[in-house]
């Protein structure tokens, strides 16, 4: 389109910048690019949510235009319409939800919004990486910086720059005047022109001698909101005019009574300007087109985050000899801000919940975004039968991850259990690793962390309180009284809560109307008839407190003499903790918590948490605890700390969710087939006969994940003990046999190592033996262990020194793990037993095939429990053996690789919600006690606020 003009007899052509045509080309370009990306990646689905507050007609028109443009470009657009009187808090809450939704790439709140809502708070609340309107302070600030890098630029200024480009106007070395100083147009426009090397003057409607500034300008951008402000006589001949203004002026010739004009007197300016935008049909269409372009940019950025491996930065170690205390080493290292760790591993800010500078929670929404990724490599760290001092599995787990990262440049995650405060304040100490292979900060790791243990404690004890309250109320109320209290009249009607409907379904009662229950159905519904002798649920506290092992409750005057004996367990022994470790999502956790069986009724029916009405409330208490916790090692590699189930009566492994999240973050995308996968290294508690067997048969069944390799940790010290050396007792000096070379003693003890290797290989998992070096070990002893390991079928055996040297001390181990996990000749993974076997046969399979016992001897109590659980439908659950960790057998005195013994099964208990049965092979202490001199004697707070004495 052109306008013919004459001046001094000479004609020239003023270019009319057709915004509609240009916008159409931009939208076509966006549509084409979306289609091309989607052809390579079917999961690519750009999305924008437009939030409109109120019912202003002009806002509705603009929103409809944007939704239509998005749809035509292949962008999913959601229009969320909210009432005028919505509260500011409710709007901000919605924005937070959209920030957290990985399927939403752009968020736009249509302006203006009602006066009772702070516009700045709203625009600031939108995550910078989804701020397709370009109004977030981070984006605005970056735009204003020299060499700044905003994620987004406001759409209208961006469109104006595109229009300048369309008429061949390069702002470089030109004089530009921007009339208007709004955050939406004027200020960002001036910044863009400045960045393009124009000399920019920002004016406004109150600028004195405005015509003076305009007359010198090569580029004029008018965005003051004043009709016909800029006159043709002001313009420099040939200037490019971008008219952003959209103003309604009275015009009785128009059906609507108004016509739309810009800030420039078009009929005058078109005779002078070299190029000019019309109103309407100029900047408006380009604003919408550039919004679509911004959404595409955002979606591509999220795709890149989901498909490419990030670059990690590693923290150098300053090694000292002799090695300082764990706390001294941890304090000497300055950790990266946890937000930086998250960024490096590919977690978006909206997927992160910060708990200070050193720890954070990762939202499970990250799994939706990464669902197209192939998992990384999966490695489990286990060990030989340990001494009471431990053989360094946690330290090896951390050291291996440091080596995989800082030495081999493979993205690596450690997934470890959260330690209980019982051992931390008792005799064992913390569980952050040790030496130069630690999780930092170790004090935050060992104390409170993000409160998950407290959530477990609260949920567990809520259920315990509900049990005794229900027994009390059933004993002191008639059926009618119970019914009226459980389903009270509210505004003349009664209703079942959702958890009550679960109980009705269990009872086979189909009605959902409380008034339709027969007297017999009412009785069955309200009376659980708990047999108090069968209650297995105890209260918990995360402190070693031996005097809570057996207590009597109900001694208050108001309890009417309804006393009973019960006790406390340590918090990590709660089935709630086992549920947290084995759950796969929030819905699964809700189901598992509700299914937990706490007792049996007098008629032999299992009583669950949902029968007591508490399953939903427990889930609410656990809703944040389900998110894995992010920390880092001394060398800056990521660590997910999540769940800490007891390793005797439970499966002793960190959470499935932490493993799944880490495996996706460490994985590769089909669009990058040549990318090397990262590694996830998880630790199984105690020796391989316990932690690893439970990892394979319980955790892997629940998760569906298959490990690529196993690391078996061994020490010369432990092997000497299994070869016939003196007892190793925690808190006492090691006997001399452990500090002097004795190769025959080591060789004799390697029978224990060989059996663990054989057991692990029978699951179809290659084994790498990590021999943790101690200062007293000799080369001959270490070589004897290495030779025995390889002879027993280990893929390889490596001497490690990560405690003293960090990742550098585990580099050979890292290379061995990579080789084993990528070996194409590895056999197929298989479980030890079929779940359809009887309870007795599954127990026998573990006893014979893993422990090498001749058989099992089930007590009458155990037989009765097996029959009960079969009647109740729990016989298809896997088995979680509860036994000593200090022997393959039930007897901690039987060292080495014993055989020819019979395993006594004293009792069987059910963790139905967690999803396993646990036979008791002896007395299992679920509440440890404090020693004479616990660690509390050393732990204190210095005047400068530093924690001292942790180890």
How far from each other are the two terminal CA atoms of the chain, in whole angstroms? 79
In the structure encoding, which two tokens stand for residue 785, read together?
Answer: 């262990």
What does 189-213 look like in DSSP terms, one character per residue?
HHHHHHHTT-EEEEE-TT-TTHHHH
Contacts of 58 (CB under 8 A, 6+ apart): none
Contact partners, residue 130, CB within 8 Å, separation at least 6: 98, 99, 104, 105, 106, 107, 298, 350
Residue in the structure block whose two tokens are 């080493």:
329
Grouping H, G, I as helix, E, B as strand and the rest as coil, residue 821 is helix
Which parts of 324-368 are beta strand (E)? 352-354, 360-362
- Report the distance separating Cα 842 and Cα 909, nearest Å: 14
Rounded Cα distance between 57 and 43, Å, is: 36
Chain Cα centroid distance, residue 683: 18
Class of residue 475 by CB neighbours under 10 A (exposed 0-12, middle 13-18, buried 19+): exposed
Q: Say which of 133, 452, 468, 659 is annotated catalytic.
A: 133
Report strand pairing: 175-179 vs 76-82. Answer: unpaired
Q: What does the alpha-carbon distance between residue 341 and residue 335 come to, in Å, rounded to a whole number?
A: 10
CB 442 within 8 A of CB 500: no
Which residues partner with 597 through β-bridges? 608
The enclosing H or E element of 629 equals: strand 629-633
Catalytic residue, from 66, 130, 363, 720: name it: 66
Structure tokens at 54: 């109120």
SS3 351: helix
Find the DSSP H helices in 850-907. Answer: 860-871
133 is known as an active-site residue: yes
Rounded to an integer, what distance in angstroms lies between the CA atom of residue 20 and that of residue 184? 21
| DSSP H stretches of helix in 145-282 | 155-166, 186-195, 210-215, 266-269
Q: How is 734-773 classified by DSSP, letter by letter?
A: PPGGGTS--HHHHHHHHHHHHHHHHHHHTTT--EEEEEE-
DSSP secondary structure string, 392-414?
A: -HHHHHHHHHHIIIIIT---EEE
For the chain, give me the number of helices (H) and strands (E)?
A: 33, 36
Tokens of 565: 């004996």
140-146 contact pairs (CB < 8 A, 24+) = 140/183, 140/187, 140/188, 143/188, 143/191, 143/192, 143/195, 144/187, 144/191
The Cα 370–Cα 789 span in angstroms is 39
**Is the distance from CB of 2 to CB of 274 less than 8 angstroms?**
no
Rounded Cα distance between 714 and 726, Å, is 18
Given 110, 402, 418, 421, which residue is catalytic? Answer: 110
Tokens of 412: 């690596």
> Active-site positions?
66, 110, 133
């Amino acid at each position: 389109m052109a306008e013919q003009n004459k001046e001094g007899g000479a004609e020239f052509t003023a270019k009319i910048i057709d915004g509609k045509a240009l916008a159409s080309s931009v939208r076509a370009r966006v549509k084409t690019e979306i289609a091309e990306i989607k052809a390579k990646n079917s999961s690519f689905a750009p999305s924008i949510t437009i939030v409109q507050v109120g019912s202003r007609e002009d806002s509705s028109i603009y929103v409809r235009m944007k939704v239509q443009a998005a749809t035509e470009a292949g962008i999913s657009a959601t229009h969320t319409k909210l009432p005028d009187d919505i509260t500011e808090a409710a709007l901000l809450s919605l924005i937070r939800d959209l920030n957290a939704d990985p399927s939403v790439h752009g968020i736009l709140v249509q302006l203006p919004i009602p006066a009772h809502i702070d516009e700045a708070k709203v625009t600031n609340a939108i995550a910078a990486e989804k701020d397709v309107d370009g109004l977030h302070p981070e984006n605005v600030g970056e735009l204003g910086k020299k060499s700044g890098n905003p994620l987004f630029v406001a759409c209208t200024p961006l469109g104006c720059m595109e229009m300048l480009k369309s008429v061949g106007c390069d702002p470089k070395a030109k004089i530009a005047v921007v009339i208007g100083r709004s955050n939406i147009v004027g200020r960002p426009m001036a910044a863009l022109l400045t960045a393009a090397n124009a000399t920019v003057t920002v004016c406004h409607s109150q600028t004195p001698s405005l015509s003076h500034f305009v007359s010198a300008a090569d580029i004029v951008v008018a965005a003051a909101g004043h009709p016909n402000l800029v006159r043709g006589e002001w313009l420099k001949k040939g200037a490019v005019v971008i008219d952003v203004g959209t103003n309604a002026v009275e015009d009785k010739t128009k059906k609507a009574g108004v016509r739309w004009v810009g800030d420039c007197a078009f009929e005058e300016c078109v005779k002078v300007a070299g190029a000019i935008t019309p109103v309407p049909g100029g900047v408006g269409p380009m604003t919408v087109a550039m919004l679509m372009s911004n959404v595409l940019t955002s979606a591509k950025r999220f795709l890149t985050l989901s498909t490419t491996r990030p670059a990690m930065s590693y923290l150098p170690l300053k090694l000292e000899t002799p090695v300082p205390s764990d706390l001294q080493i941890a304090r000497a290292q300055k950790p990266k801000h946890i937000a930086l760790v998250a960024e490096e591993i590919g977690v978006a800010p909206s997927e992160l919940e910060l708990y200070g500078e050193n720890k954070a929670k990762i939202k499970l929404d990250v799994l939706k975004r990464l669902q197209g990724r192939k998992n990384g490599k999966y490695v489990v760290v286990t060990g030989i039968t340990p001494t009471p001092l431990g053989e360094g599995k946690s330290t090896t787990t951390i050291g291996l991850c440091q080596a995989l990262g800082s030495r081999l440049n493979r993205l690596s995650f450690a997934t470890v259990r959260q330690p209980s405060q019982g051992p931390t304040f008792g005799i064992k100490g913390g569980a952050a690793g040790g030496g130069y292979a630690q999780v930092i900060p170790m004090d935050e790791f060992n104390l409170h962390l993000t409160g998950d243990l407290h959530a477990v404690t609260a949920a567990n004890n809520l259920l315990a309180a509900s049990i005794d309250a229900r027994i009390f109320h059933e004993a002191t109320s008639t059926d009618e009284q119970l019914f009226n209290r459980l389903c009270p009249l509210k505004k003349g009607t009664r209703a079942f809560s959702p958890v009550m409907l679960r109980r009705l379904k269990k009872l086979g009662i189909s009605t959902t109307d409380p008034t339709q229950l027969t007297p017999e159905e009412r009785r069955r519904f309200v009376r659980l008839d708990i047999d108090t002798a069968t209650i297995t649920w105890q209260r918990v506290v995360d402190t070693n407190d031996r005097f809570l092992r057996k207590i009597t409750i109900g001694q208050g005057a108001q309890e009417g003499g309804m006393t009973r004996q019960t006790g406390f367990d340590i918090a990590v022994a709660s089935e709630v903790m086992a549920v947290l470790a084995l759950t796969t999502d929030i819905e699964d956790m809700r189901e598992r918590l509700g299914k937990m069986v706490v007792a049996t009724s007098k008629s032999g029916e299992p009583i669950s948490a949902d029968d007591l009405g508490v399953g939903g409330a427990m889930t609410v208490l656990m809703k944040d605890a389900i998110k894995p916790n992010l920390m880092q090692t001394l060398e800056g590699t990521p660590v997910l700390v999540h769940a800490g189930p007891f390793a005797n009566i439970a499966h002793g492994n960190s959470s499935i969710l932490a493993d799944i999240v880490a495996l996706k973050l460490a994985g590769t995308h089909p669009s990058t087939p040549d990318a090397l996968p990262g590694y996830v290294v998880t630790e199984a508690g105690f020796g391989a006969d316990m932690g690893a067997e439970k990892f394979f048969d319980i955790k892997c069944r629940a998760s569906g994940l298959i490990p690529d390799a196993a690391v078996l940790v061994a020490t010369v010290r432990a092997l000497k003990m299994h070869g016939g050396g003196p007892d190793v007792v925690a808190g006492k000096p090691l006997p001399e046999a452990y500090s002097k070379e004795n190769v025959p003693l080591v060789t004799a003890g390697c029978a224990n190592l060989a059996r663990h290797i054989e057991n692990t290989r029978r699951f179809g998992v290659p084994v790498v033996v990590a021999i943790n070096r101690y200062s007293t070990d000799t080369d001959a002893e270490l070589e004897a262990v290495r030779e025995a390991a390889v002879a027993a079928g280990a893929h390889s055996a490596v001497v490690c020194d990560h405690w003293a040297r960090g990742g550098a001390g585990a580099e050979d181990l890292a290379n061995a793990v990579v080789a084993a996990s990528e070996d194409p000749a590895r056999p197929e993974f298989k479980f030890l037993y079929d779940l359809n076997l009887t309870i007795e046969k599954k127990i026998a399979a573990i006893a014979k095939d893993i422990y090498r016992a001749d058989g099992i001897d089930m007590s009458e109590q155990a037989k009765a429990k097996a029959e009960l659980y079969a009647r109740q439908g729990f016989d298809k659950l896997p088995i979680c053996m509860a036994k000593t960790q200090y022997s393959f057998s039930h007897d901690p005195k039987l060292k080495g690789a014993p055989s020819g013994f019979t395993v006594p099964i004293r009792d069987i208990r059910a963790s139905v919600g967690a999803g396993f049965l646990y036979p008791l092979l002896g007395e299992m202490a679920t509440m440890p006690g404090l020693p004479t001199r616990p660690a509390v004697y050393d732990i204190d707070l210095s005047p400068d606020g530093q924690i001292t004495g942790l180890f």
